[in-house]
């Protein structure tokens, strides 16, 4: 299994290149979290194929019988092998472990139909756990059955947007495959970064730029006229796909040169800009929500910016920067946030209510910290919305609220007089410390077998 450089690794690679300080002045330094659509490998290969990019012959299979049938079609001679690849949206599949069976490896090579049948039975219907999935893993419901491609040489190529160059960038290396991270660390000079021009609508990369990238991949005209021309055409087709489909990244690792002098995109990862969903409906229809955190899928239906984590302190904040600062201070005081949740500056009562519902349904959440700054919106209006939403959601855990900004005194009075038991805090330090301590108490009680409930109090209680 060839490793692809997932988000942060691409940034790490580019940062290594940035240290050269010579001809590679244009580099990628994108360390922020990016939200994008991710599709399966078999879907990426179909898309590449539609743009004239050569990929290995292969089929998707959703059952053992379909896997066997696909293998029979691909195993045309005794010399042929097929590769079975678990279709889960995570890197590190080759070193993954299937649970609960304990079968190792999400990528396997088979030379007979009997081998294919045995392997498919061990892979389908299991949870594949990799270093990127967390302990729960992700369900393997489909396999990519691909004809094995033998490589004379492996290369690396990625197209992505870079903030520093304020436009698209190509990252290319004549060495690719499983060792790309080691190459980036040990010999960054072997990796080239090339800023790309934005062509007119309907056009693609000019031949001169594509030829420069091909040279960086070791596909020089002097070495082989055919390989050079094929490489230029492949690069131009990849860039056309990148632009026309609103991609944020197209990464090919490895880009393989075969003993027969052909070039194949053996493994590819394609990400798409979520902001382009309105004009890429066919692409976004490929979204596989079974591969995502169910909490994130639920939140996205209501326009909430939610990212699930493994902690026990639920967070509800307005503003991404304030949300990240809130998570940091929770960690500072020894706690662990259960999520990132930015309800935004213009959140509706319905959105706040849905946010409460999602947090309240998370069995791992032992306390909820609300940190809201009332700028455009008044704090008293926000406080009333919080009280109403908490009542409807029947919040089961302690609720710590820190409000600051316009009409904050009135907001505190609303919370004080409400029938909802809210624990107020005057500043973020106090709020975080209370959330951490209360979550610890609730968690310890649960571990000791003591039931702890948080109930709303009746008026006058």
Q: What is the pLDDT of residue 34?
A: 40
Q: Is 94 annotated as a binding residue?
A: yes
Q: Is 96 annotated as a binding residue?
A: no
Tell me what the mean pLDDT of segment 411-437 comes to: 91
**Quick one: 260 and 402 in the same domain?**
no
Helices 349-361 and 379-393: crossing angle in degrees, nearest 10, is 50
| In a domain? residue 457 | no
pLDDT value at 55 more than 80: yes
Q: What is the pLDDT of residue 33?
A: 36
> pLDDT tens across 256-301, in order?
999 999 999 998 989 999 899 999 999 999 998 888 878 888 888 8
Tell me what the mean pLDDT of segment 48-70 comes to: 96
Q: What is the pLDDT of residue 65?
A: 97
What average pLDDT does the structure give for the chain?
86
**Quick one: 297 and 229 in the same domain?**
no
Percent of the chain predicted with pLDDT > 90: 56
Q: Is 85 annotated as a binding residue?
A: yes
**Quick one: 384 and 322 in the same domain?**
yes
**Quick one: 131 and 217 in the same domain?**
no
Domain boundary among 250, 265, 290: 290
**Quick one: 85 and 234 in the same domain?**
no
pTM for this predicted structure:
0.73
**Quick one: 406 and 365 in the same domain?**
yes
Please report, for the domain that includes residue 365, its CATH number. 3.40.50.261
Domain boundary among 243, 263, 290: 290
Rounded distance, CA 415 to CA 409, Å? 10
Reported confidence tier of residue 92, pLDDT bands at 50, 70, 90: confident
Q: Is 267 annotated as a binding residue?
A: yes
Number of domains into which the chain is organized: 3
Tell me what the mean pLDDT of segment 163-188 comes to: 85
Q: Is 312 annotated as a binding residue?
A: no
Lowest-confidence pick of 93-102, 145-154, 289-298: 289-298
pLDDT value at 100 more than 90: yes
Domain span at 169: 1-55+150-290
Q: What is the pLDDT of residue 131?
A: 85
Q: Is 318 annotated as a binding residue?
A: yes
Instruction: Give me the active site residues, please.
Output: 156, 251
Q: What is the pLDDT of residue 10?
A: 54
> pLDDT tens across 108-126, in order?
999 999 999 999 999 999 9
Reported confidence tier of residue 455, pLDDT bands at 50, 70, 90: low
**Quick one: 76 and 7 in the same domain?**
no
Q: What is the pLDDT of residue 138?
A: 94
Q: Is 371 annotated as a binding residue?
A: no
> pLDDT tens across 177-203, in order?
766 777 778 888 889 999 999 888 888
> pLDDT tens across 379-398, in order?
888 888 888 888 887 888 89
| In a domain? residue 388 | yes
**Quick one: 274 and 322 in the same domain?**
no
| In a domain? residue 43 | yes
| In a domain? residue 374 | yes
**Quick one: 182 and 325 in the same domain?**
no
**Quick one: 110 and 219 in the same domain?**
no
């Amino acid at each position: 299994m060839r490793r692809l450089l997932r988000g942060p690794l691409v940034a790490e690679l580019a940062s290594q290149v940035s240290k050269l300080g010579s001809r590679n002045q244009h580099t990628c330094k994108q360390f922020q979290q990016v939200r994008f659509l991710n599709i399966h490998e078999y879907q990426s290969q179909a898309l590449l194929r539609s743009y004239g990019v050569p990929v290995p012959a292969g089929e998707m299979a959703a059952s053992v019988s379909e896997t066997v049938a696909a293998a029979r079609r691909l195993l045309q001679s005794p010399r042929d092998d097929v590769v079975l690849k678990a279709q889960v949206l995570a890197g590190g599949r080759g070193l993954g472990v299937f649970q609960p069976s304990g079968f190792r490896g999400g990528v396997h090579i088979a030379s007979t139909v009997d081998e294919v049948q045995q392997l498919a039975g061990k892979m389908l219907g299991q949870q594949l756990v990799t270093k990127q999935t967390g302990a729960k893993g992700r369900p393997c419901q489909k396999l990519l059955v691909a004809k094995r491609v033998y490589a004379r040489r492996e290369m690396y190529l990625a197209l992505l947007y870079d903030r520093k160059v304020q436009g698209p960038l190509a990252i290319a290396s004549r060495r690719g495959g499983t060792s790309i991270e080691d190459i980036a660390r040990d010999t960054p000079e072997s990796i080239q970064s090339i800023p790309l021009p934005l062509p007119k609508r309907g056009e693609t990369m000019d031949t001169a730029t594509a030829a420069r990238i091909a040279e960086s991949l070791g596909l020089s005209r002097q070495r082989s006229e055919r390989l050079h021309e094929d490489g230029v055409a492949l690069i131009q087709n990849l860039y056309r796909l990148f632009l026309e489909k609103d991609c944020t990244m197209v990464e090919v690792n490895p880009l393989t040169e075969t003993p027969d002098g052909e070039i194949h995109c053996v493994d590819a990862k394609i990400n798409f800009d979520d902001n382009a969903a309105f004009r890429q409906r066919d692409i976004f229809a490929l979204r596989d929500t079974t591969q995502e955190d169910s909490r994130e899928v639920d939140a996205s239906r209501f326009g909430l910016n939610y990212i699930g984590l493994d902690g026990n302190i639920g967070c509800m904040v307005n503003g991404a920067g304030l949300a990240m600062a809130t998570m940091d201070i929770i960690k500072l005081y020894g706690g662990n946030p259960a999520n990132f949740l930015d309800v935004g500056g213009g959140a509706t009562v319905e959105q706040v209510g849905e946010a409460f519902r999602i947090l309240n349904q998370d069995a791992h959440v032992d306390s909820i910290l609300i940190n809201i700054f009332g700028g455009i919106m008044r704090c008293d209006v926000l406080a009333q919305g919080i009280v109403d939403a908490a009542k409807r959601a029947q919040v089961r855990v302690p609720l710590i609220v820190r409000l600051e900004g316009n009409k904050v005194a009135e907001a505190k009075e609303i919370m004080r007089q409400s029938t909802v038991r809210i624990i107020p805090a005057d500043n973020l330090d106090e709020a975080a410390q209370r959330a951490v301590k209360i979550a610890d108490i609730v968690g310890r009680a649960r571990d000791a077998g003591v039931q702890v409930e948080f109930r709303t109090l009746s008026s006058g209680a």
